[in-house]
Amino acid sequence: RDREDMATFAHSLGVEPEDMWSGNAQFGIRDICAALMDRNAAQPEMVRLYIPCYKANR
């Protein structure tokens, strides 16, 4: 599952998974955060996991 997630993440950043694993991909922290947020927002189970933690830590 980790390799599948990394491949999906790499493609959302516009790079090939092999470039992610080798460290040859170049992108900024905003790109990383945006890709993670987009991916997590599309997964209702992730939102359900994070909301209680977020509310508890406010």
**How confident is the model over 3-26, as a mean pLDDT?**
84
Confidence of residue 56 (pLDDT cuts 50, 70, 90): low
**Which 8-state DSSP code applies to residue 23?**
T
CA distance 44 to 40: 8
Domain-by-domain residue ranges, the chain?
A: 2-56
Q: With contact defined as beta carbons under 8 Å apart, do 25 and 19 qualify?
A: yes
Residue 54 has pLDDT above 80, yes or no: no
| Residue 32: pLDDT band with limits 50, 70, 90 | confident
pLDDT bin (cut points 50, 70, 90) of residue 27 is confident
Q: Give the global pTM.
A: 0.56
Eight-class DSSP state of 20: H
Mean pLDDT for all residues in the chain: 79
